[in-house]
Amino acid sequence: MSEMSERLLRGTSKPQGAPALLVLEDGAVFQGSACAASGEVFGEICFNTSLEGYLEVITDPSYAGQIITMTYPQIGNYGVNLEDAQSDSPALRGLVVRDLCTTPSNWRSTQSLPDYLREHNVVAVEGVDTRALVRHVRDNGAQRAVLSTVDTDAKSLLAKVRASESIVGANLAATVSCKSAYEFDSLPASHAFAVSSPAERRYKVVAYDCGAKRSILENLLRAGCSVVAVPWDTPAEEVLAMEPDGVFLSNGPGDPEAVEGTYLQVEKLLGKVPVFGICLGHQMICKAAGAQIEKLKFGHRGGNHPVMNLLTGRVEITAQNHGFGLLFPSLGELVPELSGGFKGHESDLRFWTNARIAPVVQNEKFGRIRLTHVNLNDGTAEGIALLDIPAFSVQYHPEASPGPTDAHYLFTAFTRLMDGRDDYLDIDIAADRLAGWTFGEQAATVAGASDREQDSMTEGGR
């Protein structure tokens, strides 16, 4: 090989990392190379199907206790901009990818993803056959795993992982919640090129921070809310003393059964103030109503999950990140006259999507509760609305960080709920999905100019 060829090879190739192993508790072993911090970490193995938004995924506090596998093969190619981060530091246990890009190219990038991961001491491995890994998790279910760059003995790691703690029963929300109340009043300057100025602030919202993503709180600001975030276990009496127009329950990690300090307070808040919950917040409302929560086989994580809005029949492509879900029948018995005459529950909620009915149950604590959204992939519950008190919730993430903007309307719905409107969910999601984005305004301007030009040509032809 010539000297020039060797220089080109050095300049376009990255050095091979130290050997690393991922071992699952069922004995499955996956080999790779270290590509960030070195170490040994334990967590629940999961996978995310998003094609972009890796920084938002990595910094989402809902991933506390988990080792994330990205299904898209190359991660890090557009680098890192810290204003896209969802928290000050990653809460995940480890990262598994096929290929980690070391030379990003993007005008907003300030550093490479490998450098960011090393800076925050995140153990990561590349070179793994992520297709095989994802198929294994999909077929065999989420389970404990160990990711190590320091011990490459499979038998040793298998013994360690089988002795490690499960996230089931662990209150991970407490580990990522804020320590004291604070006013959230920050919008990223670098997003101004794509996002319009926020609406005038007309609502005071208290947000339970169970691991809240910054972009969710930002969307509340943009919808016209002033936001005060409080710790996960703040007494309801303290929240009501702040005299909020509404209470928001945030996303968060882990087993909702273990977050008793939140759902017991939510039980006291329901009926006294409008409440909106997202993801773990949705589960907190369900737990407050006495519902049962199930652990999903491998969870929902990614930006391409289809959900039907039973009220409109529209399908939303949603961003999701959860490993637990509501068992809708546990909320109460069906009310036949409000459920198309049907009297019995269905285990697969896609029955209601086919029937085009939003069924209603009678709950012992809070009266009538309607199923509003259903996951079209597996027929699980994705949203509810309480009909006798002002409260609603969804299992997915509507703020699109990362993900599509189909569910943006839910922030508008929350403001309408605080206005006291019964039709707060009756929103044209096709129009609202562009609300707040400058490209939506630009498209409208271009369309308007085109219409005026066409009118002018028509007049001239006359």
- Is residue 62 marked as binding? yes
Q: According to the model, what pLDDT value does residue 432 have? A: 80
User: What pLDDT sits at residue 450?
Assistant: 47
* pTM exceeds 0.95: no
Q: Which of 35, 210, 225, 279 is catalytic?
A: 279
Scanning 369-437, the segments in alpha helix (DSSP H) are 409-418, 429-432
Q: What is residue 2's predicted lDDT score, i.e. its pLDDT? A: 79
Contacts 24+ apart (CB under 8 A), 363-370: 363/289, 363/290, 363/331, 363/332, 364/290, 364/332, 365/267, 365/288, 365/289, 365/290, 366/270, 366/271, 366/289, 366/391, 368/335, 368/338, 369/289, 369/331, 369/332, 370/338
What per-residue confidence (pLDDT) applies to 1? 64
CA distance 53 to 349: 30
The range of the structural domain enclosing residue 142 comes to 18-162
Which pair of tokens denotes residue 194? 């794509």
328 is in an annotated binding site: no
Same domain for 183 and 313, yes or no, is: yes
269 in the same domain as 380: yes
Positive or negative CA dihedral for 391, 395, 400, 405? negative
The rounded distance, in Å, linking the Cα atoms of 450 and 460 is 15
Residue 211 included in any domain: yes
Determine if residue 27 is labeled as part of a ligand binding site.
Answer: no
Inside any domain, residue 144: yes
Residue 302 falls within a domain, yes or no? yes
397 is catalytic: yes
- Supply φ then ψ for residue 231, to 5 degrees: -60, 160
> According to the model, what pLDDT value does residue 454 have?
46
pLDDT of residue 400: 86
What would the two tokens of residue 351 be? Answer: 């029955």
Amino acid letter, 205: V
Q: Which pLDDT value is given to residue 227?
A: 98
**The token pair that represents 34 in the structure block:** 């270290």
- The predicted pLDDT at position 444 comes to 46
Same domain assignment for residues 337 and 196: yes
- Statement to judge: residues 184 and 118 lie in one domain: no
Q: Could you read off the pLDDT tens digit of each residue along the chain, which spans 462 residues?
A: 678 777 766 666 778 899 999 999 999 999 999 999 999 999 999 999 999 999 999 999 999 999 999 999 999 999 999 999 999 999 999 999 999 999 999 999 999 999 999 999 999 999 999 999 999 999 999 999 999 999 999 999 999 999 999 999 999 999 999 999 999 998 988 888 788 788 899 999 999 999 999 999 999 999 999 999 999 999 999 999 999 999 999 999 999 999 999 999 999 999 999 999 999 999 999 999 999 999 999 999 999 999 999 999 999 999 999 999 999 999 999 999 999 999 999 989 999 999 999 999 999 999 999 999 999 999 999 999 999 999 999 999 999 899 888 999 999 999 999 999 999 999 888 778 777 777 655 544 544 544 444 444 444 444
Contact call for residues 259 and 171 (beta carbons, < 8 A): yes
279 is catalytic: yes
DSSP assigned state of 424: T
Query: What is the DSSP-derived secondary structure letter of residue 17?
Result: P
The residue among 110, 130, 162 that closes a domain is 162
**CATH number for the domain harbouring residue 148:** 3.50.30.20
Cα angle: 294, vertex 64, 277; to 5 degrees: 55
Pair (154, 32) in one structural domain: yes
CB atoms within 10 A of CB 341: 9
Q: Is 119 annotated as catalytic?
A: no
CATH number of the domain that residue 237 is part of:
3.40.50.880
Residue 81 labelled as part of a binding site: no
User: For residue 60, what are its two tokens?
Assistant: 């989402």
Count of the separate structural domains present in the chain:
2
Report if residue 393 sits inside a domain: yes
- Domain membership of residue 453 (yes or no) is no
Is 324 labeled as ligand-binding?
Answer: yes
Dihedral angle, C-alpha 366, 367, 372, 373, nearest 10 ° = 50
| Judgement on whether residues 276 and 136 belong to the same structural domain of the protein | no
The response to whether 47 counts as a known ligand-binding position is no
Is residue 458 assigned to a domain?
no
DSSP 3-state assignment of 125? strand
Q: Which of 162, 187, 222 is the last residue of a domain?
A: 162
> Is residue 444 assigned to a domain?
no
Angle value at C-alpha 23, between 19 and 29, nearest 5 degrees:
75
Catalytic residue (choose from 46, 316, 399, 408):
399
| Axis-axis angle for helices 214-222, 409-418 (nearest 10) | 60
Cα–Cα distance for residue pair 48/7, rounded to 1 Å: 37
Do residues 229 and 203 share a domain?
A: yes
The pLDDT value given to residue 439:
64
C-alpha atoms less than 13 angstroms from C-alpha of 140 in its C-beta half-sphere: 15
Catalytic residue among 282, 305, 397, 408: 397
Interatomic CA distance for residues 330 and 291, integer angstroms: 5
